């Protein structure tokens, strides 16, 4: 018989034991927990609650994902403490020496509940590189495709609702297999912004034709096109790991969730096997034990932090005569020791290798009707709301959904030889730039068109470290922005491409007045670089702070099964486990990885 929904939640303050304990009920965490719960007992420890209650329509309505204040990268961002961790970076010398707020979901669903819903898979070459770096052919595109497919369900585009003949999605349906019953909803938005349609035309005019396969078949570079989003098309609401994987698991398994509960330390026995997690719910501390494994899925900043401050033990031989409980950590020895933590596994790579793809914008005023102007004008905003509620279409139903990727064309590659040879190391199908189109509101109901360029080959590396031995203290985040001059060179070339885009016939037909930002005074490479350094944004694709790699790689943290080197019974499965930032948007790969590792665990690997 069906259990009560309320039976699915753990009782705070009471110790309990499960086969698997997953720390972090985010994108990867809920996916792996839901899959493991099909055959085992599983607890999920999540620091946040339900975003539908804690962030209302801001997290549910697609349009709002683009405009919610919490995605501001300003140090003085508008806080949303119930759904965002409020992380702020260390000053970034490469980017105006400013500190940047970096939104990260703190809710069941994690960042899949805060993101802008773009969904696509990376290029085949990126996964071949992953396979090479970890020495495991199960990471090649062909071998990963079943896990990509398993996670999601595709709904074909609704052309009647989209009402945009110039934005008809082209895709290869063989990239999906709905018969597998993947719970994540993937679809095309039921509305397309007219400004985006014009700029998409401009992209074609600079040499990026519409992709014949779409962006889920492992081919992305050299194409533009209408991409999929994690939107449930029935009501045009967000599909997150919570609405998909967790909902399914709550109905069909015995999964137990501890919401509003923070994992504070992983616990180990004397053989360095993870035995559970010390957790805290509103200050109440207790232990959730794992008879089989602890899986850390706390995201790109908190997973390395948790490894570094974990855990506690009374069983290991105490150093220097200390007895009973002492702090243990997994990570760089120096960092741990200076925070009074005893090293359980000296892994210098923990928190290192942070890839954070960055982007910058060139903007112009445009004369096209657009989401921002439609929703600001009372004459059109009411009908738009009715269209959303009645038909699941109109501006509220879309979070964007246009992708394009390229390598900088030969005619514009004035790179230094060191940058050129570094770029040549990337696989041939790995793009250097992604273009993102964003219409936003200007003064007097004007529409500003933004063409953004994101670096997808990235040479700068940041890091995550700790300021104390407690998870209650924010991690120290150095984003590393533009610390490598090659990134500046490539972004300068990308900036010029953005101007080329704005000077196509298509863009000229909607442009009003002179370039707004940065404007005509910025011309030389040096002026462009200066502009970029002080107008830089993250695209929230930070990855690879607990990178997988071969055991011979001193910076590797995880083996290809996502097991932490040097201890037993502990894996890290989330965007931190990637060896690099997958070019483009990562969430499809996060879901895939969680599916893959769940499958491996179930098969005893």
Ligand X SMILES: Cc1cc2nc3c(=O)[nH]c(=O)nc-3n(C[C@H](O)[C@H](O)[C@H](O)COP(=O)(O)OP(=O)(O)OC[C@H]3O[C@@H](n4cnc5c(N)ncnc54)[C@H](O)[C@@H]3O)c2cc1C
* Binding residues for ligand X (CB under 6 A): 23-29, 45-48, 71, 103-107, 110-112, 114-118, 262-263, 297-300, 302, 306, 471, 540-541, 574-575, 585-587, 590
Query: In whole angstroms, what is the distance from residue 220 CA to residue 120 CA?
Result: 9
Known binding positions: 586-587
Q: Which among 172, 166, 176, 232 has a CA at the least distance from the CA of 201?
A: 166
| Cis peptide preceding 343, ω within 30 of 0 | no
Q: Which is nearer to ligand X, 465 or 587 (CB)?
A: 587
Residues pairing with 410 in the sheet: none
Q: Which is nearer to ligand X, 408 or 588 (CB)?
A: 588
**Cβ density class 10-35: b for 16+ within 10 Å, e for less:** bebeeebebbbbbbbbbbbbbbbbbb
Query: In whole angstroms, what is the distance from residue 60 CA to residue 290 CA?
Result: 33
**Cβ atoms of 393 and 476 closer than 8 Å:** no
**Cβ atoms of 203 and 211 closer than 8 Å:** no
Which phi and psi (to 5°) does residue 98 adopt? -90, 160
Tokens 């494994």 locate to 293
Select the residue whose beta carbon is closest to ligand X and give its number: 26
**Cβ atoms of 91 and 98 closer than 8 Å:** yes
Known binding positions for FAD: 586-587
Q: Which is nearer to ligand X, 111 or 353 (CB)?
A: 111
Q: Which is nearer to ligand X, 245 or 565 (CB)?
A: 245
Of 101, 120, 302, 541, which one is the catalytic site residue? 541
CB of 574 to ligand X, least distance (A): 3
Q: Which is nearer to ligand X, 32 or 206 (CB)?
A: 32
Q: Given CA atoms 492, 505, 405, 153 in this order, what sign does their dihedral have?
A: positive
Residues pairing with 152 in the sheet: 184
**Cβ atoms of 99 and 88 closer than 8 Å:** yes
180 Cβ contact list (under 8 Å, min separation 6): 149, 150
Q: Which is nearer to ligand X, 104 or 504 (CB)?
A: 104
The answer to whether 235 is a known catalytic residue is: no
The answer to whether 101 is a known catalytic residue is: no
Per-residue CA distances from 485 to 361, 458, 488, 489 (Å): 19, 10, 5, 7
Query: In whole angstroms, what is the distance from residue 280 CA to residue 282 CA?
Result: 6
Query: In whole angstroms, what is the distance from residue 278 CA to residue 311 CA?
Result: 8
Angle at CA of residue 137, ends 133 and 142, nearest 5°: 115
Query: In whole angstroms, what is the distance from residue 282 CA to residue 251 CA?
Result: 27
Per-residue CA distances from 581 to 98, 216, 356, 574 (Å): 23, 17, 7, 12
368 Cβ contact list (under 8 Å, min separation 6): 194, 195, 198, 439, 447, 449, 510
**Cβ atoms of 385 and 520 closer than 8 Å:** no
> Which residues are marked as active site?
541, 585
């Amino acid at each position: 018989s069906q259990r009560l929904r309320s039976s699915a939640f753990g009782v705070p303050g009471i110790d309990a034991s499960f086969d698997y304990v997953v720390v972090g009920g985010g994108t990867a965490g809920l996916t792996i927990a839901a899959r493991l719960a099909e055959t085992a007992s599983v607890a999920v420890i999540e620091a946040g609650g339900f975003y539908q209650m804690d962030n209302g329509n801001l997290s549910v309505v697609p349009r709002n994902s683009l405009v919610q204040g919490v995605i501001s990268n300003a140090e003085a961002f508008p806080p949303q403490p119930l759904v965002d961790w409020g992380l702020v970076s260390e000053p970034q010398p490469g980017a105006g020496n400013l500190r940047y707020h970096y939104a990260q979901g703190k809710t069941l669903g994690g960042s899949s509940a805060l993101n802008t819903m773009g969904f696509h898979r990376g290029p085949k070459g990126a996964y071949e590189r992953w396979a090479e770096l970890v020495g495991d052919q199960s990471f090649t595109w062909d071998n990963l495709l079943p896990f990509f497919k398993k996670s999601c369900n595709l709904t074909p585009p609704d052309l009647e609702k989209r009402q945009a003949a110039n934005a008809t999605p082209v895709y290869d349906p063989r990239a999906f297999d709905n018969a597998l019953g993947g719970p994540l909803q993937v679809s095309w938005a039921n509305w397309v912004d007219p400004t985006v349609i014009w700029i998409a035309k401009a992209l074609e005019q600079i040499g990026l034709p519409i992709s014949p396969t779409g962006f889920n078949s492992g081919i992305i570079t050299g194409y533009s096109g209408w991409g999929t989003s994690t939107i449930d098309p029935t009501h045009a609401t967000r599909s997150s790991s919570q609405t998909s994987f967790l909902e399914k698991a709550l109905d069909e398994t015995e999964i137990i969730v501890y919401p509003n509960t923070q994992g504070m330390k992983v616990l180990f026995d004397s053989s360095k096997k993870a035995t559970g997690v010390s957790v805290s719910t509103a200050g109440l501390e207790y232990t959730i034990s794992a008879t089989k494994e602890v899986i850390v899925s706390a995201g790109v900043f908190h997973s390395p932090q948790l490894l570094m401050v974990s855990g506690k033990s009374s069983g290991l031989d105490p150093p220097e005569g200390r007895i009973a409980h002492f702090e243990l950590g997994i990570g760089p020895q120096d960092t741990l020791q200076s925070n009074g933590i005893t090293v359980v596994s000296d892994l210098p790579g923990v928190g290192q290798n942070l890839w954070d793809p960055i982007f910058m914008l060139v903007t112009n005023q445009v004369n096209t009707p657009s989401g921002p102007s439609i929703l600001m004008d009372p004459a059109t905003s009411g009908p738009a709301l009715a269209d959303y509620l009645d038909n699941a279409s109109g501006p509220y139903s879309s979070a964007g959904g246009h992708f394009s990727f390229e390598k900088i064309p030969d005619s514009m590659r004035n790179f230094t030889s060191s940058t050129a040879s570094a770029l040549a190391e990337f696989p041939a199908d790995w793009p250097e730039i992604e273009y993102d189109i964003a219409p936003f509101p200007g003064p007097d109901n004007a529409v500003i068109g933004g063409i953004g360029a994101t670096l997808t080959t990235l040479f700068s590396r940041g890091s995550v470290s700790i300021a104390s031995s407690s998870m209650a203290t924010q991690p120290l985040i150095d984003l590393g922005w533009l610390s490598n001059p090659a990134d500046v060179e490539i972004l300068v070339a990308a900036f010029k491409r953005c101007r080329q885009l704005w000077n196509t016939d298509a863009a000229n037909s909607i442009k009003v007045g002179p370039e707004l930002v940065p404007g005509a005074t910025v011309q030389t490479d040096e002026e462009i670089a200066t502009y970029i350094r002080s107008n830089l944004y993250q695209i929230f694709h930070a990855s690879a702070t607990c990178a997988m790699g071969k055991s011979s790689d001193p910076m590797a943290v995880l083996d290809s099964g996502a097991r932490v080197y040097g201890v037993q019974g502990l894996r890290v499965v989330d965007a931190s486990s990637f060896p690099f930032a997958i070019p483009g948007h990562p969430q499809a790969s996060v879901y895939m990885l969680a599916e893959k590792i769940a499958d491996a665990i179930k098969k005893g690997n």
